Structure 1
Amino acid sequence: MTRFPAAPTINGYARWLTRSGGSPVTTPSSPKTPRPCWDDYFMQIAELVARRTTCLRRSVGAVLVKNRRILATGYNGAPGGLAHCADVGCVRQQRGVPSGERHELCRGLHAEQNAIIQAAFHGVSIDGSTLYVTCHPCSVCAKMIINAGIREVVIHGEYADEMAAELLREAGVAVRRVAPRL
């Protein structure tokens, strides 16, 4: 029976793998694969979450983070158990409603709303957390962000809702824009 040594540390992983018959690997701190900063890491996760959208108009993803730990994620789409817009069509699109207007006609929830709801559903406090979202929140989401106790919103997209920006500013919620990097 072959006995393997105790699990190695990250720094000793390549040496351990080579000694135990494996081939050397590139470690995460290697210049060939630079580690992303935390903002890039969480924003890339938000971009991946956005790919789950069922909305025909926009793909938006949101990630709630506290102390560098993911608390909840959300993407825009119809509530659970309801038909997706991808299946039944978009009412706002059918009526020619411009983007950013008449949100009450949409059968879907926004990514920020879904992330906040998921945290609440699972009993996870998001007070003092940071929200990474692929575009600037609308005014409805901004009000939810404020009341949920989210202290910072990190975005990389633009959005024309000046009221949302003003509400967040007035409530002392920091908004930072980061350039998307892949």
Structure 2
Amino acid sequence: MLEGGTFLANEINRATEYSQNTLLDPLEEASIGIPHLGRIKADESFFFICAMNPEELSGTHRLSEALKDRIKVWIKLTYPEKATELDIIRINLPEQFMVEESELELIYSIIDETRKNKVDIEVPASIRAGIAIAKLLGRRRYLEEKGIVKQKESVYVHLADITKHVLLGSIKPKPGVKVQPVIDRIINRTIGG
């Protein structure tokens, strides 16, 4: 702050109202008061960036109008392109967990299907759900190769089972919609029944 730089307040709308309010003075005055040190002025090149989750996610708080007023530029991000999302999943897989390219494609299609279903799903699965599915599938294969899991089944059986459990906590259905039938339809469309 004293020498410039950037401060990222990630997931700012998960901060309580009190925490958000502590940013008002520093953003307005470009300085902060610290007990026993006094007021510290930010260098002109200091930059504040914040990122927030979609407002409909649980655990988020509404940003106050005063805080919104002090944030000068707003950019709405969409999902990355398919190739980028697949790269993100690959990067997050431990080395020992092998997941075939065709399986990654299936995992992407599962996540993408939750995003396309605007009739039943209020909040679709994020890339984190894709990472979780890939890790669990890779772990299953790793355990089979090590002989720890004796029962070998089709990758489609494992993928369907893993998907059911991951999507259960990753998507939010619209009011009045039961989540399990929605997940079953997604699995049937992407993996097959």
TM-score normalized by structure 1? 0.34
Q: By percentage of residues, which structure has more helix?
A: 2
TM-score normalized by structure 2? 0.33
Greater CA radius of gyration, 1 or 2? 2
